[in-house]
Structure 1
Amino acid sequence: MASPHHLKIDGVSFTYPGGVRRVLTDLTFAVPSGQVTGLIGENGAGKSTLLELIAGVLVPDVGTVTTPPTTGFIAQETQLPFSSPAAPLIDAAVAELRAVETRISELSLRLGEDSSPAEADEVARDFDAALARAEQSGVWELDSRIASVLAGLGLADVPLETTLGEMSGGQRRRFALAALLLRPVDALVLDEPTNHLDDAGVDFLIAELQDFPGPALVASHDRFFLDAVADSLVDLDPGLGPEGGVGEATRQGTQFTGAFTDYLAARETTRRRWAELHAAQEHERARLEKAAGQGENDIFHSSTPKSESRISQKFYADRAAKTVGNRLRSARSRLEALERAAIPAPPARLRFHGIPEHVTLAVLGEPAVVARDLVVTDRLGPLTVTVQPGQHLLVEGPNGAGKSTFLATLEGRLTPDEGLLRIPEEITVARLSQDDEWVELDTPAAEIFAARVPSGSPDLREMGLMNEETAARPLGELSLGQRRRVSLGIILASPPDLLLLDEPTNHLSLALAEELEQALADFPGTVVIATHDRWIRRRWQQRTDGRARLVTLER
């Protein structure tokens, strides 16, 4: 149904009661009808908070939220009653459209009744309006529409009599999404809607959003999805440029036109400009420091002729002193001004540090991993794969296929029930786990990091993973994404011969995920990655370095 409405956020700030930091600061953007805006940012950046403000669950400290009359909202975690079967959920979603059909039947009967001309005209007008609404809303195709949505979200084989408590968490969430897509709403607000969707389900949702006539705001970490569906992106992660230097791009909530690929290009342009400004500043700093350190002998290199009178010598000496003084004061004044408004260097791009010399030669002539008919009962296998030193293996497959189990087996945390697994003893192994496994939640992130990396390693700030204020906070106060940065930094500071990465882009900002992928592509060691990330998988197939391999696990 056509909608002239916009979804608008105007000057919104929000702090949770008792909080010491604002979650959202002076956020302003709009989503017009027929447009999809992606909301991006690391876990803890405020995406879910903003969506709850839009839904009316929370109230902003300042600013206004304007939404169309009927705004459909789905959170990351559904609150559906487990005792209810799916059928009432779907029936409730289409009740308004069913009522239109019922209304048409009632009015059609009244059209045949004897009534006054005025009453007849009123019934005819109501009938035409209801008929137009039915045609506009697809009432006549409602049953096929329900079947199409359920099939598109992978729910066609789940009986509607099944109670929500009998379903998996993924199925419950997909039913909630199906109900939202079936409701006649003016706007859509979705929080991580691709969670629990397979590739076909994501493609179906992309088509649904592209056809939706109203404004749609979608919080997501799914780069493939955002690249396919978004008309613009709002980034809740500040930090594209230094305050007072590159400009407004530093504020939270910068809006970028275009899809995810366009967002990456815009970030790269901003970063390049930042680097150019910093380089120009440092060149000027060096010139001013040299000028500020010059004296009389640096400016006047010739000696005074012996034939000149003492009066002439004094005149030239006084003039030289005055000239030197003016130039020194000017240079020092400009140097002080530069220091006050100095542009910091752009943060370092992610890269591996301290790579051991043997990392590309791990046990020359012998595979880094040999798995033959490997089985972990009810979790994996049988799997046969060989990984040579320096190769990068991507392990893909649906949830439950055994991707994480395979990595835990390679790490030595699990013992296979059947088959052969051989990893040379000389090879060092480390894994970036999918889940947050930290226990030192009262210890500052910087201390935890420093205790786990070799002396002389760059710190979290120098690696471009955290600023000093965040690194000084206890781990328990950090978001999942920030904790994952600590884990990632430890591996980057002291990489192993065999690097195991379980869903490495989970909880990371999209920009950081991009940097991690590039660092991995440049890493000479052996890598095994388990992921469902479609963006990674698509790029993997485009790699031309000859080191990338792919194995697909079946559930």
Structure 2
Amino acid sequence: MSSVTTVVSTRARAHLTASGVRIVRGGHAVLQGVDLTVSAGDRLGVVGENGRGKTTLLQILAGRLVPDAGEVRRTGGIGIADQEMPVGDDRTVGDLIDVELSDVRAALAGFDGAAAALAEQRAGAEDQYADALAVAEALDAWDADRRVDVALAALGAVDDRSRVLSTLSVGQRYRIRLACLLGAGHELLLLDEPTNHLDAGGLAYLTAQLQAHPGGVVLVSHDRALLSDVATAILDLDPTSDDLPRTYGGGYRGYRDGRAAERERWEDEYRTQVAERQQLANDLSTAQNRLSTGWRPPKGTGKHARATRAPALVRAVHRRQEDLDAHVIAVPRPPMRFRMPELGSRPGATLVQVTDAGVPGRLEPVGSVLLQSGDRLVVTGPNGAGKSTLLSLLAGRLPPATGVVQHGPNVRIGLLSQESPEASARRAYEVYDAAVGRLVSTGKLAESEQVSLSELGLLGSREASRPIGELSIGQQRRLDLAMLLAARPHVVLLDEPTNHLSIALVDELTEALRITPAAVVIATHDRQLLRDLKDWPELRL
């Protein structure tokens, strides 16, 4: 009996489950309590701050890493795209394609062998041929190389199969491998930040391919637009009230709504337990005061009354102390929320004005830009168009070669560059406090306008006490943002502000930027941010 009908639907049977997955590194649980199920048609987005174990989880799901606890079960072939791809000295583009299409090559070889056996009329050759045909058809093996070629072109990748991989850039190598994965017909795709190194055309192609993928997808990404367009559910690895991951249905919108509701419940429960403990502490204090003063009866009362009243007060103190000792705040402190300080405002005054300013080779002359308090502007354009250069001109950090850039008197301007300055050995809070101190000592900031690092909700006390060189890229980026906001700028200039920041912080920052009285200019490629700010004026370079 032929097995064609059972094998052709291989992708429809694609299935991946993980239960109770836990992995420990250096005595710390990188992942714990991870449960997930991905079937054909499911596209699971995985999100979380840097260091929350997203890449580690993909390695476990792929079978490259064995968890310390829990189990993973897989049905169907797996294709995985890591963020990094080491290469040998002599491997070529064609070699990489052959590796990624190894299942296809094996299926075609098996079919050729079965066809030969059938032609020779060997015993059992008919069933062997039917099975081999079913496997090849399930992978659509004859069309795989064409699909890879289409993907290479769509992603802007090198298609010369003789090119040595080591002569290509990291981005080129990544795009080649991604094209292979999209063309190979794997039942399960595991992708780690797949939008890295892709332009607008590549992003559109990737999105369409993932939406149409008949198997299962696990997608680690900070790209909110990709998650919004592709994900059917989201696994959130960020801290929760019980320190277990959360899975939200309903795609990216369901995740945002569910996370917000979860956060509200967490904060409410924490506040309630803290208030209960404070009440118990107040009750104990009251009882102790009564023991020291309140037990004395009115003048003229006999010794017997005093003697009988004192033990009752002592017992009350003991009981209150026991109640306080027994009360435990079982809910951990919720993560900080970002809090935007009140920024500078000069209604009606010209803060910055640009007229025909340009820098040869970096920025073509920009006709006119006028910024006043409350103004909003989004700067877009391809790489190399001069977006960062324009922000540097607006900030006064770069003089124009042509045209004029004028700044109002004593206007405070804050610029968040794409990359953090070189990390130092000084602690984060020391660098922050020193920067604020300089602003005050030079008269740029009044003492009453100072805001502490903790008030901003960007770095916790533990991170703030660490040397900057030991902070993650995301934490250094948070410090950069904190120092910008500490200056209470009248003009806020943000160059790719979503780089290295968590999804939650980006959402909070976006909402705060909408209502600040300062002028705000944002240069970005981020598709979701552009969607969120679609009502802002746009300057395309």
TM-score class normalised by the smaller sequence: 0.7 to 0.9
Q: Deviations over 1:443-483 (max 9, x none)?
A: 22222222222567454444322222222222111110111
| Residues 138 and 520 (structure 1), Cα distance of their counterparts in 2 relative to 1, 3 Å cut | same
Contact 2:21 2:67 in 1 (8 A): no
Task: Please identify, of 159-168 and 208-217, the stretch whose mean Cα deviation from structure 2 is larger.
Answer: 159-168
Residue 369 of structure 1 aligns to a residue in which SS? Answer: strand
Contact 1:256 1:263 in 2 (8 A): yes
TM-superposed CA distance for 1:263, in Å, is 1.9
Inter-partner Cα distance in structure 2 for 1:488 and 1:540:
20
Q: Is residue 325 of structure 2 the alignment partner of residue 355 of structure 1?
A: no
| Residues 380 and 166 (structure 1), Cα distance of their counterparts in 2 relative to 1, 3 Å cut | farther
Q: Is residue 23 of structure 2 the alignment partner of residue 13 of structure 1?
A: yes
Inter-partner Cα distance in structure 2 for 1:372 and 1:158:
44
| Residues 522 and 347 (structure 1), Cα distance of their counterparts in 2 relative to 1, 3 Å cut | farther
Inter-partner Cα distance in structure 1 for 2:62 and 2:191:
10
Q: Is residue 329 of structure 2 the alignment partner of residue 341 of structure 1?
A: yes
Residue type of the alignment partner of 1:190: L
Inter-partner Cα distance in structure 1 for 2:110 and 2:330:
69
TM-score, normalised by the number of residues in structure 1: 0.80
Identity across the alignment (%)? 35
- Pick the aligned partner of 1:129 from 112, 128, 131: 131
| Residues 67 and 477 (structure 1), Cα distance of their counterparts in 2 relative to 1, 3 Å cut | farther
Q: Is residue 471 of structure 2 the alignment partner of residue 474 of structure 1?
A: no
- Pick the aligned partner of 1:498 from 476, 491, 510: 491
Contact 1:387 1:393 in 2 (8 A): no
Contact 1:391 1:549 in 2 (8 A): no
* Total equivalences in the alignment: 516
Residue type of the alignment partner of 1:408: S
Contact 2:380 2:524 in 1 (8 A): yes
Residue type of the alignment partner of 2:516: F
Inter-partner Cα distance in structure 1 for 2:332 and 2:15:
42
Residue 532 of structure 1 aligns to a residue in which SS? Answer: coil
Inter-partner Cα distance in structure 2 for 1:12 and 1:348:
26
Inter-partner Cα distance in structure 2 for 1:27 and 1:272:
22
Residue type of the alignment partner of 2:210: L
Contact 1:351 1:492 in 2 (8 A): no
| Residues 33 and 342 (structure 1), Cα distance of their counterparts in 2 relative to 1, 3 Å cut | closer
Map 1:13-92 to 2 at 5 A.
Answer: 13-15=23-25, 19=26, 22=28, 24-34=30-40, 35-55=42-62, 60=67, 64=71, 66-68=73-75, 70-81=77-88, 86-92=93-99
Inter-partner Cα distance in structure 2 for 1:83 and 1:423:
55
Residue 11 of structure 1 aligns to a residue in which SS? Answer: strand
| Residues 9 and 402 (structure 1), Cα distance of their counterparts in 2 relative to 1, 3 Å cut | farther
- Pick the aligned partner of 2:151 from 149, 155, 167: 149
Contact 2:248 2:255 in 1 (8 A): yes
Q: Is residue 389 of structure 2 the alignment partner of residue 405 of structure 1?
A: yes
Inter-partner Cα distance in structure 1 for 2:119 and 2:399:
78
Residue type of the alignment partner of 1:256: Y
| Residues 410 and 160 (structure 1), Cα distance of their counterparts in 2 relative to 1, 3 Å cut | farther
Residue type of the alignment partner of 1:237: D
Q: Is residue 260 of structure 2 the alignment partner of residue 268 of structure 1?
A: yes
Q: Partner residue of 1:187?
A: 188
Alignment RMSD (CA, Å): 3.7
Q: Is residue 428 of structure 2 the alignment partner of residue 445 of structure 1?
A: yes
Q: Is residue 227 of structure 2 the alignment partner of residue 226 of structure 1?
A: yes
Q: Partner residue of 1:244?
A: none
TM-superposed CA distance for 1:149, in Å, is 2.3
Q: Partner residue of 1:245?
A: none
Contact 1:86 1:161 in 2 (8 A): yes
TM-superposed CA distance for 1:159, in Å, is 5.3
Q: Deviations over 1:42-78 (max 9, x none)?
A: 2233323443455566555555555556422211122
Residue 374 of structure 1 aligns to a residue in which SS? Answer: strand
Residue 45 of structure 2 aligns to a residue in which SS? Answer: strand
Q: Deviations over 1:198-226 (max 9, x none)?
A: 34433332332333344422211111111
Q: Which runs of 5+ in 2 are unaligned?
A: 1-9, 438-446
TM-superposed CA distance for 1:488, in Å, is 1.3
Residue type of the alignment partner of 2:323: R
Q: Deviations over 1:372-414 (max 9, x none)?
A: 3333223222323413312121112222222222222322333
Residue 145 of structure 1 aligns to a residue in which SS? Answer: helix
Residue type of the alignment partner of 1:31: T
Residue type of the alignment partner of 2:417: S
Residue type of the alignment partner of 1:492: L
| Residues 375 and 162 (structure 1), Cα distance of their counterparts in 2 relative to 1, 3 Å cut | farther
Task: Please identify, of 135-144 and 429-438, the stretch whose mean Cα deviation from structure 2 is larger.
Answer: 135-144
| Residues 461 and 183 (structure 1), Cα distance of their counterparts in 2 relative to 1, 3 Å cut | same
Q: Is residue 537 of structure 2 the alignment partner of residue 549 of structure 1?
A: yes
Inter-partner Cα distance in structure 1 for 2:333 and 2:57:
31
Residue type of the alignment partner of 2:197: H
Inter-partner Cα distance in structure 2 for 1:473 and 1:290:
36
Inter-partner Cα distance in structure 1 for 2:318 and 2:255:
45
TM-superposed CA distance for 1:324, in Å, is 5.9
Inter-partner Cα distance in structure 1 for 2:207 and 2:231:
9
Contact 2:270 2:332 in 1 (8 A): yes
Map 1:380-395 to 2 at 5 A.
Answer: 380-389=363-372, 390-395=374-379
Contact 1:230 1:259 in 2 (8 A): yes
Q: Is residue 201 of structure 2 the alignment partner of residue 204 of structure 1?
A: no
Inter-partner Cα distance in structure 1 for 2:365 and 2:33:
52
Contact 1:353 1:494 in 2 (8 A): no
TM-superposed CA distance for 1:415, in Å, is 3.2
Residue type of the alignment partner of 1:12: R
Contact 2:420 2:480 in 1 (8 A): no
Residue type of the alignment partner of 1:421: V
Inter-partner Cα distance in structure 1 for 2:392 and 2:90:
36
| Residues 324 and 87 (structure 1), Cα distance of their counterparts in 2 relative to 1, 3 Å cut | same
Inter-partner Cα distance in structure 2 for 1:508 and 1:310:
70
Residue 130 of structure 1 aligns to a residue in which SS? Answer: helix
Contact 2:340 2:456 in 1 (8 A): no
TM-score, normalised by the number of residues in structure 2: 0.82
Q: Deviations over 1:501-533 (max 9, x none)?
A: 111121111111111112211211111111111
